[in-house]
Amino acid sequence: MTTAAGILAGLEPRLLPILAQEYPRFSAAEYARRHQALAGVMGKHDCDHVLVVTDHRTGNAPQWVTGWPGTVEAYVLFKPGEQMVMHMEWHNHFPLGQKIAEGVDVRWGQHQGIAKTIEELKRRGARRVGIIGPLTAPKYRQLEAMFDMVALDADYTRLRMIKSAEEIDWLRIGAAFSDAGLRALVAGTRPGMDERELAALVEGAYIKHGGTTMIHYIGVTSMQRPHLYVPPQHPSPRKVQAGDVVSCELSAYWWDYPGQVLRTFTVDAEPTPQYRDLHAVAEAVFDAVTGIVRHGATMTEIIDATALIEEKGYTVCDDLMHGFGGGYFQPIIGSRSRMAGVLPEMRLEENMTVVVQPNVTTIGADGVPRAGVQVGELIRVTRDGFESLHRVPRGCFRAGSII
């Protein structure tokens, strides 16, 4: 067993060659599938070109169509049957962009990438241009002055919601990295460490194997006098103490394909009755919701499966379910006492990937939660049920444990 296989426990041996690539790419067939799907969107909207954008590190569509993550700016021109052209920044990123975006005519944007992209579109005689990804208003106005522009972000989101077999394999790697971070966090947490040091435990488990951090939300609070009920998005210098409870939400990437694992554990103490009950409810709701998950499941069925939360006098702060992997997608669902907006009119579909994560919290006399737990993970919707993409066990752990 290799070092990576040993640390990333549960990762299938067939996936290890993906980790060994210098800069991993999907198969030619997978990129052809994506390009064909994008061509279908163009036909639906009568577009002759699509402009695919990363602007100031926001927007993942260029990576989906070319393999290049778009570190700063990337403007990709796509038209079926023609070589893609990508203007990108910065010049010191240009050599790697050429290497990773295989088969793409990669050009340095010279800090005027949108102007050069417009020049190329005019040279091609473009008329109606679809756009995917973010642009500042001044850049969009330059395009709008020259072409009939069509927003295709909703169509792109739809393409990303259903995963291919290769994408699911990359999500398995992201899940294994996330699991490794959780194992390191549970095993390494000690009284006297602060939340920033806990984050370092998480990152150190997977960075050396090619993973990168999407999020590590870690909340530490006293079980007797709780001040947190959901993990915060930024760590504080608060130090861990005996009798604390730690809840976390961890996502490590494998090239834009993350896992997401949520767990709760205690420090040098058994869970208090309150936290034991919160955790038991969260676990029961996770089982109830995943018991509903299957191809064709309705949103009403899912929200009904959360009923135990309110029956026990609790609520949620975090979304209880959301689509994940390439973006934060519908279905985004809370519970009856904390709806996540209007219940979406859709059904689950096979090979959607979603996170089920009951963040069960108390309700104070003033209506403000005081205590909460996190439980959950990324799963794949199957024809008849679900598959967890994570291998770390469930349960309320104790700091210092090997899980």
Distance CA 379, CA 239 (A): 33
Report the C-alpha dihedral over residues 152, 155, 161, 166, rounded to 10 degrees.
-80
Mean pLDDT computed over 335-363: 97
Longest dimension (CA), the chain: 70
Is 54 strand, coil or helix? strand
Mean pLDDT computed over 204-212: 95
**DSSP-assigned beta bridge partners for residue 378:** 355
* Domain definitions of the chain by residue range: 28-161, 165-398
CATH 3.90.230.10 fits 165-398, yes or no: yes
Q: Which amino acid is at 197?
A: E
pTM, full prediction: 0.96
> What is the model's pLDDT at position 5?
52
Strands 128-132 and 49-55: parallel
DSSP line for 111-171: T-HHHHHHHHHHHHT--EEEEES---HHHHHHHHTTSEEEE-HHHHHHHHHBPPHHHHHHH
Q: Per the CATH hierarchy, to which homologous superfamily does domain 28-161 belong? A: Creatinase/prolidase N-terminal domain (3.40.350.10)
Distance CA 10, CA 356 (A): 21
> What is the model's pLDDT at position 2?
38
Work out the pLDDT band at 279, boundaries 50, 70, 90: very high
Work out the pLDDT band at 324, boundaries 50, 70, 90: very high
| Mean pLDDT of all residues belonging to the chain | 96
